[in-house]
């Protein structure tokens, strides 16, 4: 089938670690035809939603993740989104108004018959940080507010807390405030824009030293390995983008409890691929925009995450 990937420019891909590349390589190996575009190439014309897309082929050995030139692209052409067998929304955040507009356009295309993964409404409705509020039984003490007094009271109660913006990614804007409260006021002012924006506060979870685990759900089922992203040096953030070390490991019993509780719920909403984040026994985020960590798990364990994903995609489109 023809598969359209809506993503960042292919020229920027670091294919040795890119999960979208892993999806593309597996799809190509199975004989599917690959197309790509960026969100700004989407348009509603009055006759439906189309995009300026280009067909491309992966060149060279698909298992070699260190090629500078890895694809050959054909000329750009306009094409209606319902004409593709599947459309994969793989644009990285930030989740800003242009991202939201993309989901509106994709939803119009979906109503005309396009098969889009993840489902546009589900992407839009699931705040990656706020979504944990639906599953409080798995969540450490957490507060979301823009009231500085509530944030100060939360710190006073728990003593050691993490503060972060609701729209951050890759560990950006994450602060730890210990019992001494050093810089608490300044951090709250900065993150909340002087009370104009909401902030998430969470009790510090000491198990972060063993890693911030990414648990992948594909078609509602957990990948049997997580990727523990372990902070390095004095860093409190385990995010790979912040210099964390990724170590693949089998799911714990608690990881499976979380995955098996959330998997069917999220699948029923049209979320084919989800990245749960957990520290120790606690769920911290539910990532639905462009979950990653395929390559690290595949390289370290031999488990073919990309094959599991394309299996689920093929099943979803029938």
214 in active site: yes
> Which residue is catalytic, options 124, 164, 267, 295?
164
Whether 238 and 229 have beta carbons less than 8 Å apart is answered as yes
267 in active site: no
- Which two three-digit tokens encode residue 99? 């991202």
> Which residue is catalytic, options 214, 239, 255, 295?
214
> Which residue is catalytic, options 50, 110, 255, 277?
277
Sequence-ordered list of residues with C-beta below 8 angstroms from that of 185, at least 6 positions apart, any chain: 148, 152
- Which two three-digit tokens encode residue 17? 């670690």
Dihedral-angle region of residue 136 (phi above 0 means left; psi in -120 to 50 means alpha; beta otherwise):
alpha
176 in active site: no
CA distance 258 to 135: 9
- If DSSP codes are grouped into helix, strand and coil, which group holds residue 318? coil
> Which residue is catalytic, options 91, 115, 129, 203?
129
285 in active site: yes
Strands 273-279 and 212-218, by their bridges, are antiparallel
> Which residue is catalytic, options 90, 119, 229, 295?
229
Dihedral-angle region of residue 37 (phi above 0 means left; psi in -120 to 50 means alpha; beta otherwise):
beta
Whether 85 and 317 have beta carbons less than 8 Å apart is answered as yes
213 in active site: no
Positive or negative: CA dihedral 241, 243, 248, 250: negative
CA distance 272 to 123: 11
> Which residue is catalytic, options 18, 203, 213, 287?
287
Whether 39 and 104 have beta carbons less than 8 Å apart is answered as no
Helices assigned H by DSSP within the chain: 19-29, 97-111, 120-125, 148-158, 184-192, 253-268, 294-301, 305-317
CA distance 33 to 75: 15
> Which residue is catalytic, options 237, 255, 267, 296?
237
Angle of the 294-301 helix axis to the 305-317 helix axis, nearest 10: 130
129 in active site: yes
Active site residues: 129, 164, 214, 229, 237, 277, 285, 287
């Amino acid at each position: 089938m023809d598969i359209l990937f809506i993503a960042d420019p292919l020229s920027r891909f670091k294919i040795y670690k890119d999960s979208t590349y892993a999806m593309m390589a597996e799809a190509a190996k199975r004989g599917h035809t690959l197309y790509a575009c960026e969100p700004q190439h989407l348009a509603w014309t009055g006759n439906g939603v189309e995009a300026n897309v280009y067909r491309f082929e992966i060149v060279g050995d698909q298992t070699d993740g260190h090629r500078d030139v890895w694809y050959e692209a054909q000329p750009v052409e306009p094409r209606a989104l319902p004409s593709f067998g599947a459309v994969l929304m793989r644009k990285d955040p930030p989740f800003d108004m242009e991202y939201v507009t993309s989901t509106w356009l994709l939803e119009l295309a979906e109503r005309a018959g396009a098969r889009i993964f993840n489902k546009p409404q589900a992407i839009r409705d699931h705040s990656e940080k706020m979504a944990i509020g639906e599953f409080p039984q798995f969540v450490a003490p957490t507060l979301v507010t823009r009231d500085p007094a509530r944030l100060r009271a939360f710190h006073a109660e728990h003593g050691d807390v993490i503060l972060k913006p609701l729209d951050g990614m890759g560990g950006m804007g994450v602060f730890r405030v210990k019992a001494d409260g050093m810089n608490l006021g300044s951090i709250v002012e900065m993150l909340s824009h002087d009370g104009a924006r909401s902030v998430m506060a969470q009790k510090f979870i000491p198990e972060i030293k063993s890693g911030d685990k990414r648990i992948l759900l594909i078609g509602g089922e957990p990948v049997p390995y997580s990727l523990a992203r372990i902070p390095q040096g004095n860093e409190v953030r385990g995010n790979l983008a912040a210099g964390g070390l990724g170590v693949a490991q089998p799911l714990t019993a608690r990881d499976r409890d979380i995955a098996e509780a959330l998997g069917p719920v999220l699948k029923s909403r049209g979320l084919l691929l989800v990245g749960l984040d957990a520290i120790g026994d606690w769920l911290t985020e539910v990532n639905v925009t462009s979950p990653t960590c395929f390559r690290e798990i595949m390289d370290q364990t031999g488990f073919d995450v990309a094959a599991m994903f394309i299996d689920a995609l093929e099943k979803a489109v029938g």
